[in-house]
Amino acid sequence: MVELTPIKKIKENFPDKIEETWQKSSRRTYVTVKKDAVKDIVSYLMKNLGARFIIITALDTRKGIEMLYHFSFDQRGCILSIRTFVPMPLPEIESIAQIISGAEYIEREIHDLLGVNFKNHPNLKRFILADDWPEGLYPLRREHKCQFPYRTVEEQNLFRQEILKKEEQ
């Protein structure tokens, strides 16, 4: 499979920030990068390579909150996903809303549902959850119980440690 030009360029410009590249097919590529380089890479993709931002997927995994920034190169017909891991228990990452205005709302959504704190976000208010939803409960985290009554924050922390312990065994 031929390596795509955007991937080559990222590798040239950010050699020490890239941990892994996986080209699934000619149209799908996943690049794992270090957390602190995300903003620079996103800015480079948008300004120099003319990518179109699609969305951010965030999911709760063993290694922390996994964030996938999906970009589309429409002329080439390929989707590039920048993957990074934000370590728990206090996930924090630089916001990209100042580079791409369209990313503002998805960052607010991830802040609501998974509790990721986006630094330098212009307006990190509640967006998806109700105004009276208890603080510190994040519905898309693994320790969240869907039935009422929900686990409290302390119970959640205990539960999370139990899951992690079970998985280690």
Question: Which spans of this chain sit near other proteins (rule: CB under 8 A)?
Answer: 24-25, 27-28, 30, 52-55, 57, 59, 68, 70, 72, 74-75, 77, 79, 81, 100-106, 127-130, 139-140, 146
98/122 Cα distance (integer angstroms) = 8
- Alpha-carbon distance values, 123 to 7, 106, 111, 140 (Å): 32, 12, 11, 21
Name the minimum Å distance from CB 101 to other proteins.
5
Name the minimum Å distance from CB 42 to other proteins.
12
57/67 Cα distance (integer angstroms) = 6
88/116 Cα distance (integer angstroms) = 9
Residue closer to other proteins, measured from CB, 55 or 153: 55
Residue closer to other proteins, measured from CB, 28 or 36: 28
Amino acid at 51: A
Name the minimum Å distance from CB 15 to other proteins.
25
Residue closer to other proteins, measured from CB, 1 or 12: 1
